[in-house]
Structure formats: structure tokens, C-alpha cells
């Protein structure tokens, strides 16, 4: 690992830390009703939408009403996306005349983008019209991300409210996040990306001619088709909303989606900006700023070591590179599956940032990473996407681990567990247990099912530990609503489209529903007095305990499976 690589990673992590506080303050002002300059622009639009949609912004919802609104909203999203994909050949903005999307695939795409997963088992530039990309997928990138923040806000209100069923208004929470947070940031990022060469147009795909000079003769090559389209607008929100996926099949490794080191840095920064900022938003809304900082520090203490170990693993020479004994191999590290304009450092950092968050975009092929790096990517997702995670979902995920840690610590010291003045009772622990068991259950069951059914095995491009890792990675990604892929498995089959859809639905709503139930329970409780006997949850000791609980639960659940995949593959490389 070079000094240049170390400085790149340090700069990125420092920028995330510096921007987290102002971003958190901005979101706090939006959702607590404070004045911001954008109110003059968006407030009339906001109230016009309320009037048109017949929404009463002053209506208060309990957790069941909030849940019904969320499910209805997301169900409508699934129906609309499916309808657009199935009828895209009749709709405008289809210059390539693409046909309707296959029913199984359309169903998978609709669920994928509505659940903030953005799993793509298809080639976008040969499957989807511009209308489908813009009015189905890009719109859901906004709305699914806003849904995650809305659920988090309801959970925060459950903590700060006393003896009430009020968790806020789902429609207001979604609209404010969309209008005041994602829309202006997406516009700014889109303009920055376009200035660097990311395309944004509605042109037909371009036929281009190439010339090659051989022996003083120019040889013309024709028939090369270059895809066009409104890429920048979708790329901006997919990164800001921790959606992932891509306008192009190769995602952020495509030069029209991520052409320069600057666009690479801006897109990576956008991935972690809002999840990190929400830690500060949480601290300000609960009037416990130290708690918000403690959560951000917890995430950083897990994320940063994994970034450096992944980068080191990619720079370390395998036996194959040692035998090659070439200067380029030694200086560049493992460049298989990576773009030369990004190199090992930016590829490793991107892989860690996107698997830490539920962002499925890639700027290199994950299947080509070393087994140790693959282990880190898998393990980050298998922690439950609580190290930053998706916007909103990552923070309420780690807060569930805080509740479990408080309960464990209470058993250890013989005190009643409490968090920010709210007592943790058996109901909260039952819901928390359901949450931490849901993702491992659907991941491991789906993986096992795919290994014993011919339809699952026929899609593999590799056998042995690597083939096992392909299936494990796919379902880990879908169950955590991540969306990235090992890229060595053909998931565009009825088996994977149907099973994957079920996994993505459970991975999203099997977590969200118990979280809302906990929020409803906490909001009805009295605040207990915090005294010298109360376990503080913002100290270095508690941070270490929280990290231990997260890592131990993840390890106990997934290490047996990981030992059959990347661990076995790493040992195989060492032996040979």
C-alpha cells in the first residue's frame, strides 16, 4: 500500500467526518420545522402537494397508521413500476424501441427499486427505455430513500415523546425528505457530474466509427454502438439515497457514468454523506448530541479498519503475481477487474463504502477481488447494514443493536436497562430479536435452497468455494437491500427473480415493521430519571461494548457460511 493510497483514503474519511455535522444540522432543521432559505422556494410547492393529494399535514399517526401509510405507499410504487416496465413499448422516450420487460424480471425490478435494493439482474442499456429509467426507477430512488428516513424519524419520535401514540405523519416526513434533502442535493450533484463528462440527454444510441493506422494505412471499424441517455440525474440520486444500481450495466466503472477521479470522489462522498449526517440529526433531535457522535464513532471504528485491510489485501501480491515477477504487477497490485483510472485504492474504498451502506453500485468487479477483500465485503453486509447502512435504515438498524447492548449490559450489572430515558422491556427485546434474526434466516435459507435446486446451480459460472461465494453474496446483498453483485452469477432466471423478490421484500419490511412497533411502544412510556446508576450510552466503554455485540452476532451467525466461501478460497490460495 502506497503513501498516495493512504492519503486518498484519509482524505475521503476526513471529508465524510467534516460534512456529517452540517448535513445533520440541515436535516434537523427541516424535520423540526426550523427556517431554512429553501423554505421560500419549496414551501409553496409543499403545500400545493398537500392540497392536491388531500393530505392534512397536522394529522398525527400512531405506529399502526404510520405502518399502513408506508405499506400502501410502497405497494403503489411496486404497481406503478411494474406497469411502466410491462408497457414501455407503448410509452414515449423509447428511441431504441425496446420491448416490454419480461414479467418475472419486471416484478423483480419493481420490488428491487421500491425496497431501496436496486438489485439488477439485467443489462439496463439493452432492456429499459429512457421513460422507464426516469419515471419508474429514478422516481423510486427518491421515494424509497425518503421512506427509510421516515421510518427513522418515527423511531426517534418514539424515543423523545412521552405517554403518547404520536409518531408524526408519514406523508409529511416523506415529502420533506424528498423536497428539501434529496432534490436540491441531486440537482447540485447532477450538474457537477455533467461538468465532468457524465451524459444527460435523450438521444438515440450513437453508431460510431473507429480508425486504426497499420503500416501507413487507415483501417476503418464500423458497427460500434455507444449508449446514450439521461444518466447524470439517476446517478446523483442513486448515490445520495444509498440506492445503488446503475444506468449502465457496468455501473460506476462505465466512463459515461463515472469518467474521472473527481466524479469518483464526489459519488463516493455522496454515498456516505446522508447516513453519516443522520447520526448528528439523531443527536440533535433527542437532545443527546454525545449519543449521536458516539454512533458515528462506532460506525467509523468498524469501517476504517476494513477499508485499510481490503486495500492492503489487494496490494499484497498473490502467488500468481509473484511468479509473473513484473514491475507493473508489483506497483499496481491486483488490477484484475478494476479500471486503471481508479486503481486499487479507489476501487477498494468504493467497494467498502457501498457494502457498508446499502448501495449496490460498483466501480470494479467484486468477483475479481482477493478472497480476504471479498470476506470484508460480505461481512460488512452481514452485520445487518448497520455500519452507515441505507439512509435511515442503517441508523435505525444500529439503534436496535444499542437496545440489545443496553439489555445485555443491564443483565451484567444487575440494573434495569434503559436508553435515553426510556425503559427497555421484554416487548422491545422480542421485536429486536425478530429484527436481528430475520436477515440471517432469509439469507442462509435462500442460499441453502439455491445449492440443492438445479435452477440455482445452473446459473453459476464457477464451482467450489468461489461458486458458493457467488450465491451467498447474491442473497446477502438482496436480504440487506444492498443490490451489489459478485457478477459471476446469472440471476436473470425465473428462479432467482422470484426468490430474490421474496428475499428483498422480507429484508425491507421484515425489519421496518418491528422497528415501528418498538417506536410505538417507546412513545407511550414515561421517561425515567437518569441518575448515577444509569448506564451511559455515549462513553468509549459503551462504544466498545456495542461494537463487540455487533461483531459477535454477525460472526456467530455467518462464520460457518463464510468458512465455506472466501475463507476456504483464501486458504486454498495460501496452499498453492
For residue 56, what are the contacts with CB-CB under 8 A and spacing of at least 6? 50
The pLDDT of residue 321 is above 70: no
Distance CA 223, CA 209 (A): 7
Mean pLDDT for 567-572 is 88
Residue 118: phi, psi to the nearest 5?
Answer: 60, 35
Contact, 207 vs 222, CB < 8 A? Answer: yes
192-209 pLDDT, tens digit per residue, is 999 999 999 999 998 877
Distance CA 300, CA 8 (A): 16
The pLDDT of residue 312 is above 50: yes
446 versus 368: the higher-pLDDT residue is 446
355 versus 461: the higher-pLDDT residue is 355
Distance CA 362, CA 249 (A): 10
Q: Distance from CA of residue 207 to its chain's centroid?
A: 35
The pLDDT of residue 414: 75
Question: DSSP H helical segments within 458-539, as ranges?
Answer: 464-479, 494-523
Closest CA to 365 of 389, 381, 382, 348: 348
The grid coordinates of residue 51 equal 392540497
Contact, 234 vs 179, CB < 8 A? Answer: no
Distance CA 355, CA 361 (A): 9
Sorting pLDDT into bands at 50, 70 and 90, what band is 213?
low
The pLDDT of residue 376 is above 50: yes
The pLDDT of residue 527: 87
Closest CA to 151 of 385, 395, 389, 354: 395
Q: What is the largest CA-CA distance in the chain?
A: 87
415-433 pLDDT, tens digit per residue, is 778 899 899 999 999 999 9
Q: How many residues does the chain have?
A: 576
Distance CA 229, CA 249 (A): 13
Distance CA 241, CA 394 (A): 12
Closest CA to 238 of 394, 396, 117: 117
The pLDDT of residue 328 is above 50: no
Sorting pLDDT into bands at 50, 70 and 90, what band is 223?
low
212's enclosing H/E stretch is strand 206-214
Distance CA 197, CA 186 (A): 16
Sorting pLDDT into bands at 50, 70 and 90, what band is 35?
low
The pLDDT of residue 326: 46
Distance CA 395, CA 401 (A): 10
The pLDDT of residue 319 is above 50: no
The grid coordinates of residue 437 equal 434474526
The pLDDT of residue 540: 94
492-519 pLDDT, tens digit per residue, is 999 999 999 999 999 999 999 999 999 9
Distance CA 364, CA 129 (A): 25
Grouping H, G, I as helix, E, B as strand and the rest as coil, residue 101 is coil
Amino acid at each position: 500500500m502506497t503513501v498516495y493510497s493512504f492519503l486518498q483514503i484519509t482524505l475521503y474519511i476526513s471529508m465524510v467526518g467534516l460534512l456529517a455535522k452540517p448535513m445533520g444540522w440541515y436535516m434537523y432543521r427541516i424535520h423540526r420545522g426550523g427556517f431554512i432559505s429553501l423554505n421560500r422556494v419549496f414551501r409553496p410547492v409543499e403545500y400545493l402537494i398537500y392540497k392536491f393529494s388531500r393530505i392534512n399535514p397536522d394529522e398525527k399517526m400512531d405506529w399502526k397508521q404510520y405502518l399502513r401509510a408506508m405499506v400502501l405507499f410502497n405497494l403503489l410504487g411496486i404497481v406503478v413500476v411494474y406497469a411502466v416496465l410491462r408497457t414501455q413499448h407503448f410509452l414515449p422516450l423509447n428511441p431504441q424501441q425496446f420491448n416490454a420487460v419480461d414479467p418475472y424480471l419486471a416484478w423483480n425490478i419493481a420490488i428491487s427499486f421500491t425496497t431501496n435494493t436496486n438489485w439488477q439482474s439485467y443489462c439496463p442499456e439493452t432492456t429499459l427505455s429512457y421513460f422507464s429509467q426516469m419515471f419508474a426507477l429514478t422516481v423510486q430512488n427518491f421515494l424509497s430513500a425518503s421512506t427509510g428516513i421516515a421510518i427513522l424519524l418515527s423511531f426517534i419520535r418514539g424515543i423523545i415523546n412521552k405517554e403518547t401514540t404520536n409518531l408524526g405523519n408519514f406523508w409529511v416526513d416523506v415529502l420533506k425528505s424528498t423536497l428539501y434533502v434529496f432534490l436540491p442535493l441531486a440537482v447540485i450533484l447532477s450538474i457537477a457530474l455533467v461538468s465532468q463528462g457524465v451524459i444527460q440527454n435523450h438521444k438515440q444510441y450513437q453508431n460510431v466509427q473507429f480508425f486504426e493506422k497499420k503500416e501507413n494505412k487507415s483501417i476503418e471499424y464500423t458497427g460500434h454502438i455507444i449508449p446514450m441517455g439521461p444518466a447524470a440525474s439517476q446517478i446523483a440520486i442513486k448515490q445520495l439515497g444509498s440506492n445503488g444500481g446503475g444506468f449502465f450495466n457496468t455501473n460506476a466503472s462505465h466512463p459515461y457514468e463515472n469518467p474521472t477521479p473527481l466524479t469518483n470522489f464526489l459519488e463516493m462522498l455522496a454515498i456516505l454523506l446522508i447516513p453519516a449526517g443522520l447520526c448528528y440529526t439523531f443527536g440533535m433531535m433527542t437532545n443527546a448530541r454525545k449519543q449521536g457522535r458516539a454512533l458515528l464513532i462506532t460506525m467509523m471504528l468498524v469501517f476504517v479498519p476494513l477499508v485499510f485491510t481490503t486495500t492492503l489485501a489487494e496490494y499484497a501480491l498473490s502467488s500468481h503475481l509473484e511468479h509473473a515477477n513484473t514491475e507493473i504487477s508489483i506497483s499496481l497490485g491486483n488490477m484484475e477487474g478494476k479500471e486503471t483510472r481508479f486503481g486499487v485504492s479507489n476501487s477498494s474504498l468504493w467497494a467498502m463504502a457501498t457494502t457498508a451502506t446499502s448501495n449496490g453500485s460498483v466501480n470494479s468487479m467484486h468477483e475479481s477481488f482477493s478472497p480476504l477483500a471479498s470476506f470484508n465485503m460480505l461481512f460488512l453486509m452481514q452485520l445487518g447494514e448497520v455500519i452507515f447502512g441505507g439512509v435511515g435504515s442503517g441508523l435505525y438498524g444500529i439503534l436496535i443493536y444499542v437496545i440489545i447492548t443496553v439489555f445485555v449490559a443491564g443483565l451484567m450489572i444487575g440494573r434495569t436497562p434503559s436508553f435515553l430515558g426510556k425503559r427497555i422491556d421484554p416487548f422491545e427485546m422480542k421485536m429486536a430479536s425478530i429484527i436481528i434474526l430475520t436477515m440471517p434466516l432469509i439469507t442462509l435459507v435462500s442460499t441453502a435452497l439455491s445449492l440443492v435446486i438445479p435452477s440455482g446451480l445452473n446459473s453459476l459460472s464457477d464451482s467450489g468455494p468461489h461458486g458458493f461465494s457467488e450465491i451467498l453474496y447474491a442473497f446477502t446483498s438482496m436480504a440487506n437491500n444492498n443490490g451489489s453483485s459478485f457478477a459471476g452469477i446469472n440471476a436473470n432466471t425465473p428462479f432467482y427473480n422470484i426468490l430474490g423478490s421474496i428475499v428483498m421484500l422480507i429484508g425491507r419490511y421484515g425489519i421496518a415493521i418491528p422497528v415501528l412497533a418498538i417506536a410505538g411502544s417507546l412513545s407511550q412510556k414515561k421517561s425515567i430519571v437518569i441518575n448515577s446508576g444509569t448506564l451511559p450510552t455515549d462513553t468509549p466503554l459503551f462504544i466498545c461494548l456495542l461494537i463487540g455485540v455487533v461483531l459477535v452476532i454477525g460472526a456467530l451467525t455467518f462464520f460457518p457460511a463464510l468458512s465455506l466461501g472466501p475463507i476456504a478460497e483464501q486458504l486454498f490460495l495460501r496452499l498453492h
